[in-house]
């Protein structure tokens, strides 16, 4: 497949994931620009003319990745680019949408890497509310393609590129053509069913906030010096996670979608089987050696509560499903950080679903029906 069929990319966000993605694309021979809201973060990359990508694996491209456009000017970053890869924490999605909206043109594809829960819905809602009528397609990936770390201002290490990451578009019928374009550069992307499925299959929502909160004393007394998953998830903690997981699956079902259980996900992602969630966790060698956060001020709470748990609970209201366990974790996290995460989180209104019936929502997600 010649370069001629490969779309031009803009990567929006120059953190661990964004620098990995921009560098990887450049090393694959793709034309790519890199944007960051703060100019300081990208100064070294600008001076360098690109990024050094480091990897211990021959299967992952590494070396100097030349970048022609490195900027904190959104218009410059996305002009002439077909695929706009948003690689920032979900708390930054609204900022990106507001700054993209005036410059978007027909045919552009926006991909949130990842969307967490309700990301694509929120971004599309903001763009439309700001009066942008360009025919753009907003999509979300179920997870980030890379395990990576920025080790210096212009140097990033890629530890792993995931084998496959589902992506879904609004409307869902555009997903196959979008994935075809993405795969011209990154064959790891596969079609997801729809954005409600990518949003509600957000397993981090179950594994991150509750485990951090229920291990708060241990995190603070050891500075996170314990294995987060294998030691932090005891039989008692797993019991709480199981209840949260059941609520998440029930919410999806009430909206007419099937979400996979955390136990199914562990089997699919890691071949880890067990009769219970606790057993499956214990049988997962992929989690060995992963340490806990050093402090309770971690994105496992600051991002995963407002951008994952709050929207799941909000979607539950639409389907008439109560989420008492999820609600209790939202409350505990809010108390711990003295922040009202429910008030700052994604809700029915910010996701653009107010005044929609379940039928309307389903129609909108599958067919992009904007008549409502």
CB 165 within 8 A of CB 108: no
pLDDT, position 270: 78
The mean pLDDT of the chain is 94
What's the CA gap between 283 and 52, in Å, rounded?
Answer: 37
CB 259 within 8 A of CB 252: yes
pLDDT in tens, 84-118: 999 999 999 999 999 999 999 999 999 999 999 99
Residue 4 has pLDDT above 50, yes or no: no
Sign of CA dihedral 257, 133, 11, 58: positive
- What residues form DSSP beta bridges with 83? 9, 109
pLDDT, position 246: 97
pLDDT, position 370: 56
What's the CA gap between 229 and 227, in Å, rounded?
Answer: 6
CA distances, 146 to each of 7, 99, 103, 225, 348 (Å): 20, 25, 28, 24, 30
The domains found in the chain, sorted by start residue, are 9-196 (3.40.50.720), 202-341 (1.10.1040.10)
Beta strand pairing status for 32-35 and 109-112? unpaired
Higher-pLDDT residue of 110 and 288 is: 110
* 315: CB partners within 8 A, 6+ apart: 117, 118, 200, 251, 255, 348
What's the CA gap between 170 and 192, in Å, rounded?
Answer: 11
pLDDT in tens, 294-341: 999 999 999 999 999 999 999 999 999 999 999 999 999 999 999 999
Q: What is the mean pLDDT of residues 18-38?
A: 97
pLDDT, position 369: 64
Higher-pLDDT residue of 27 and 287 is: 27
pLDDT in tens, 188-218: 999 999 999 999 999 999 999 999 999 999 9
What's the CA gap between 363 and 106, in Å, rounded?
Answer: 22
Sign of CA dihedral 52, 291, 198, 190: positive
pLDDT, position 84: 98
Least confident among 164-173, 237-246, 277-286, 320-329: 277-286
Nearest C-alpha neighbor of 323 from the set 214, 228, 205, 199: 205
Q: What is the mean pLDDT of residues 129-138?
A: 96
Nearest C-alpha neighbor of 307 from the set 124, 98, 130, 89: 89
Model pTM score: 0.93
* 343: CB partners within 8 A, 6+ apart: none
pLDDT, position 145: 92
Encode burial over 239-268: b for 16+ CB neighbours within 10 A, e otherwise.
Answer: ebbbbbbebbbebbebbebebbbbbebbbe
In the block, residue with structure tokens 């907003």: 138
pLDDT above 90 as % of the chain:
85
Beta strand pairing status for 137-141 and 146-152? unpaired
Residue 362 has pLDDT above 50, yes or no: yes
Sign of CA dihedral 122, 168, 92, 47: negative
Encode burial over 303-331: b for 16+ CB neighbours within 10 A, e otherwise.
Answer: bbbbbbbbbbbbbbebbebebebbbebbe
- The DSSP call for residue 249 is H
Tell me the catalytic residues.
208, 304
Q: In the chain, count H helices and then E strands.
A: 19, 12
pLDDT in tens, 144-176: 999 899 999 999 999 888 888 999 999 999 999
């Amino acid at each position: 497949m010649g370069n001629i069929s490969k779309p031009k990319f803009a990567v929006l966000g120059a953190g661990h994931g964004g620098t990995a993605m921009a560098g990887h694309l450049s090393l694959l021979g793709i034309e790519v620009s890199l944007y960051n809201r703060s100019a300081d973060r990208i100064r070294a990359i600008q001076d360098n003319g690109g990024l050094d990508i480091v990897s211990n694996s021959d299967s992952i491209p590494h070396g100097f990745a030349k970048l022609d456009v490195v900027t904190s000017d959104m218009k410059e970053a996305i002009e002439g680019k077909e695929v706009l890869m948003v690689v920032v924490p979900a708390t930054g999605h609204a900022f990106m949408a507001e700054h993209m909206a005036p410059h978007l043109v027909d045919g552009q594809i926006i991909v949130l890497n990842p969307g967490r829960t309700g990301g694509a819905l929120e971004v599309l809602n903001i763009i439309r509310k700001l009066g942008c009528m360009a025919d753009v397609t907003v999509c979300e990936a179920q997870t980030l393609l890379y395990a990576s770390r920025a080790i210096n201002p212009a140097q990033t290490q890629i530890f792993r590129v995931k084998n496959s990451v589902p992506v879904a578009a609004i409307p869902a019928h555009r997903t196959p053509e979008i994935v075809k374009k993405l795969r011209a550069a990154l064959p790891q992307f596969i079609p997801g069913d729809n954005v409600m499925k990518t949003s509600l299959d957000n397993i981090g929502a179950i594994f991150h906030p509750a485990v951090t909160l229920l291990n708060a004393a241990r995190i603070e007394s050891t500075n996170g010096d314990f294995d987060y998953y294998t030691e932090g998830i005891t039989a008692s903690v797993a019991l709480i996670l199981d209840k949260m997981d059941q609520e998440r699956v029930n919410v999806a079902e009430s909206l007419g979608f099937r979400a996979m259980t955390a136990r199914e996900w562990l089997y699919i992602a890691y071949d880890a089987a067990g009769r219970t969630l606790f057993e499956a966790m214990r049988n997962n060698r992929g989690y060995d050696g992963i340490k806990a956060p050093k402090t309770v001020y971690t994105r496992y709470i600051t991002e995963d509560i407002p951008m994952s748990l709050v929207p799941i609970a909000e979607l539950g209201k639409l389907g008439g499903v109560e989420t008492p366990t999820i609600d209790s974790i939202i409350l505990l996290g809010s108390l711990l950080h003295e922040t009202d995460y429910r008030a700052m989180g994604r809700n029915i209104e910010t996701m653009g679903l107010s005044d929609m019936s379940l039928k309307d929502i389903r129609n909108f997600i599958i067919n992009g029906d904007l008549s409502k």
